[in-house]
Chain A
Amino acid sequence: MRILKKINTGNRSLCLCASVVISLLLPHSISAKERSSEVPIEDLRAKVAAFEQEAASLEEQNHGLRQMLKEQEDDEVYIVVDTENNRLSLRRGDRVLLTAIVGTGSRQFIEEETGRNWYFESPMGSLSVLGKERNPVWIRPDWSYVEENMPVPAENDPDRIVREVLGKYALILGNGYKIHGTKYTDLLGTHFTHGCVSVGDKDLEVLYKTVKIGTKVYIY
């Protein structure tokens, strides 16, 4: 009986060993099967090499593009006028150097008996400072007389010359438009001009001292 018991114990440990071996071998045989369905390693190597080349080429192209865009950047100041909210900002790159409450075109329309008409809107788009003036003089245009139901004088009539209504400084934008001062400071922040951009005295001085001829002005 004792011998039989010992034989049984030996068999039990053998069975245990066998089951351990089988359970350990089983997943291995499955992974071997999986491997046989995998992409050949040479193909993988080739694919990785191709990806590396593609990434390098893209990096080079992007570097070139970034460089090209950087060359177009500059550190110049520029003026932006928001005619809807009557705000002017002096900017350099992404930075705002000055924000001013201004007056812009009244968006009103007048018509003369002869049929001549005017629409008072600030000039939209990309403009440049074409000139800078100290103590600017206003040469009254025809519409100013039409607006007040006055007879329009001759072109060189000295009556057209009006002093001290445009403030101390003016930045010339072309076609008769300017960024200038105003006597009507109460109206700043509204659409009250005939197309020019009116600015308060302090802000005008900063603008005059900061911008150069050629400075870009974007009006929208």
Chain B
Amino acid sequence: MVFHRREHTKTAAVFLIMMSAFLFGMQGESPEDIERRKLVDQQAALSERIASLNHEQEYLLLQKAFYASDSKYLLIDLPSRTGMLKYRNRVLRTFTFTTTAGMHPVPRNTVLKVTAKADGKEQKRVLLFGDTLLIQSKRSSIVSGNEKRAPRILVGSKDFAALYYAVEQGTMLYTGK
């Protein structure tokens, strides 16, 4: 009986060692798995890089067009809340601004055009970029109608007066990152 019990224990131990070795081998990744994982990661990183290079190229091409054109244009940098009125490669004016969200936030990496200059008393003046964006003086009264739904960029009254006078229908605006 004693012999049999020892024999059983030995068999179970051998079985367990073999099984754990087998399972351990099963758990490890094969070289193909490792390569696949690396390729998938690489693909994701490259596609992100391509998207960012495409954005950069878009901006550079736009800058090239602006430098060649005979019109003033506006550049808006949303993270730093600063803007520039430029003509070709020259800065005509820099300004700071605040934003108020409409139904949607100010779109990024987008080219917009001044579609209308709402005239009237100083506080009612607005630069309209379709339904996408409004630029107003900080002292302006709140807009009504469809424009109410668009996000607004609010600039100081002196800056707004200068911008309002400097831009015309068709003036382009580029919102950066």
Residues of chain A at the chain B interface (Cβ within 8 Å): 3, 6, 10, 13-14, 17, 21, 24-25, 28, 35, 38, 41, 44-45, 47-48, 51-52, 54-55, 58-59, 61-62, 65-66, 68-69, 72-74, 78, 80, 82-85, 91, 93-94, 126, 216, 218, 220
C-alpha gap A25/B27 in the complex (Å)? 9
Identify the stretch in B60-68, B108-116, B140-148 within 8 Å (CB) of chain A at 4 or more residues: B60-68
**CB pairs A–B below 8 angstroms (14 shown):** A10-B12, A28-B27, A41-B35, A44-B40, A48-B46, A59-B53, A69-B63, A80-B91, A80-B92, A82-B92, A84-B165, A91-B91, A126-B87, A220-B92
Q: How many residues of B contact A (CB 8 A)?
A: 47
A216 touches B53 (CB 8 A): no
For the complex formed, measure the closest distance between the CB of A6 and the CB atoms of chain B, giving whole angstroms.
7
Which B residues are in CB contact (< 8 Å) with A83?
A: 165
B165 touches A58 (CB 8 A): no
A14 touches B50 (CB 8 A): no
A45 touches B161 (CB 8 A): no
C-alpha gap A65/B68 in the complex (Å)? 13
B90 touches A21 (CB 8 A): no
Find B60's partner among A55, A65, A72 (CB 8 Å cutoff).
Answer: A65
Which B residues are in CB contact (< 8 Å) with A41?
A: 32, 35-36, 39
Find B72's partner among A13, A38, A61, A220 (CB 8 Å cutoff).
Answer: A220
A47 touches B26 (CB 8 A): no
* Interface residues of A, dominant DSSP: helix
Nearest residue (CB) in A for B15 is A17
C-alpha gap A47/B46 in the complex (Å)? 10
C-alpha gap A68/B94 in the complex (Å)? 24
A6 touches B42 (CB 8 A): no
For the complex formed, measure the closest distance between the CB of B27 and the CB atoms of chain A, giving whole angstroms.
8
B53 touches A55 (CB 8 A): yes
B57 touches A84 (CB 8 A): no
For the complex formed, measure the closest distance between the CB of A26 and the CB atoms of chain B, giving whole angstroms.
11
B57 touches A82 (CB 8 A): no
Residues of chain B at the chain A interface (Cβ within 8 Å): 1, 5, 8, 12, 15-16, 19, 23, 26-27, 32-33, 35-36, 39-40, 42-43, 46-47, 49-50, 53-54, 56-57, 60-61, 63-64, 67, 70, 72, 85, 87, 89-94, 158, 161-162, 164-166
Find B166's partner among A65, A68, A94, A220 (CB 8 Å cutoff).
Answer: A220
C-alpha gap A52/B47 in the complex (Å)? 9
B64 touches A78 (CB 8 A): no
B54 touches A6 (CB 8 A): no
For the complex formed, measure the closest distance between the CB of B95 and the CB atoms of chain A, giving whole angstroms.
11
Which B residues are in CB contact (< 8 Å) with A47?
A: 39, 43
Which A residues are in CB contact (< 8 Å) with B53?
A: 55, 58-59, 62
Name 19 extra pairs, CB < 8 A, besides A51-B46, A62-B57.
A10-B12, A17-B12, A28-B26, A28-B27, A41-B32, A54-B46, A55-B46, A58-B50, A58-B54, A61-B57, A62-B60, A69-B63, A78-B90, A80-B90, A80-B93, A84-B161, A85-B158, A85-B161, A126-B87
